[in-house]
Amino acid sequence: MSSVTIPETMKALVQHATEHKAEVREVSVPKLNKNEILIKVAYVAQNPIDWKMSSLGMSPPHSILGFDFAGIVVALGEELANPNVKIGDRVAGMVHGGGFPDKGSFAEYVRATSDLVWSVPSHLSLREAAGISATLATAAQGLFTKLDLPYPVFGTNPTPIDNDPTNWIVIYGGSSSVGLFAIQLAKFAGYNVITTCSPKNFDLVKQYGADVVVDYHNPEAAIQEIRSATSAQLTRAFDCISAGNSAIVCLQALEDADEANDKCKLVQVAPPSPEAEKLASERGIEMSRLMALTLFGNALTLGPGFTVPANPDDRAFYVKLNKDTPTLIAKYGLKPNPVTDMPNGLNGIQEGAALMQAGKVSATKLVYKVSDA
Own/partner long-range contacts of 325-331 (Cβ < 8 Å, ≥24 apart): 325/118, 325/132, 325/136, 326/118, 326/119, 326/120, 326/121, 327/153, 327/156, 328/152, 328/153, 328/185, 328/188, 329/121, 329/124, 330/121, 330/123, 331/156, 331/157, 331/158
Quote the pLDDT of residue 156. Answer: 45
How many percent of the chain have pLDDT more than 70?
Answer: 93
Task: Say which CATH superfamily domain 137-292 falls into.
Answer: NAD(P)-binding Rossmann-like Domain (3.40.50.720)
- CA–CA dist 193, 365 (Å, integer): 22
**300-301 vs 9-15, strand pairing mode:** unpaired
Q: Break the chain into its structural domains and give their ranges.
A: 2-132+337-369, 137-292
Mean pLDDT of all residues in 239-247: 96
Confidence at 309, pLDDT banded by 50, 70, 90:
confident
User: DSSP label at 292?
Assistant: G
Mean pLDDT of all residues in 48-59: 90
Q: Quick one: 167 exposed, middle or buried, by C-beta within 10 A (0-12, 13-18, 19+)?
A: middle
Single-letter residue type at 211: D
- CA–CA dist 352, 365 (Å, integer): 10
Whether the CB-CB separation of 72 and 40 falls below 8 Å is answered with yes
Mean pLDDT of all residues in 272-289: 94
Q: Quick one: 60 exposed, middle or buried, by C-beta within 10 A (0-12, 13-18, 19+)?
A: middle
Per-residue pLDDT tens over the stretch 332-341: 999 999 999 9
List the alpha helices (DSSP H) in 114-258: 126-129, 133-140, 177-188, 202-207, 219-229, 246-253
Name 71's bridge partners: 41, 91
Whether the CB-CB separation of 2 and 73 falls below 8 Å is answered with no
- CA–CA dist 249, 151 (Å, integer): 26
Identical fold between 2-132+337-369 and 137-292: no
Q: Which CATH architecture has domain 2-132+337-369?
A: Alpha-Beta Complex (3.90)
Picking from 119, 108, 134, the residue whose alpha carbon sits closest to that of residue 27 is 108
**2-3 vs 68-76, strand pairing mode:** antiparallel
For CA atoms 144, 147, 148, 151, the dihedral sign is negative
Q: How far is CA 306 from the centre of its chain?
A: 21
Q: What is the mean pLDDT of the chain?
A: 92
- CA–CA dist 197, 249 (Å, integer): 13
- For 350-372, b where at least 16 C-beta lie within 10 A, e where not — what string? bebbebbeeeebebebbbbbbee
Mean pLDDT of all residues in 244-262: 84
Name 111's bridge partners: 38
Quote the pLDDT of residue 81. Answer: 97
Per-residue pLDDT tens over the stretch 120-150: 999 999 999 999 999 999 999 999 999 999 9
Quote the pLDDT of residue 1. Answer: 47
Q: Quick one: 15 exposed, middle or buried, by C-beta within 10 A (0-12, 13-18, 19+)?
A: buried
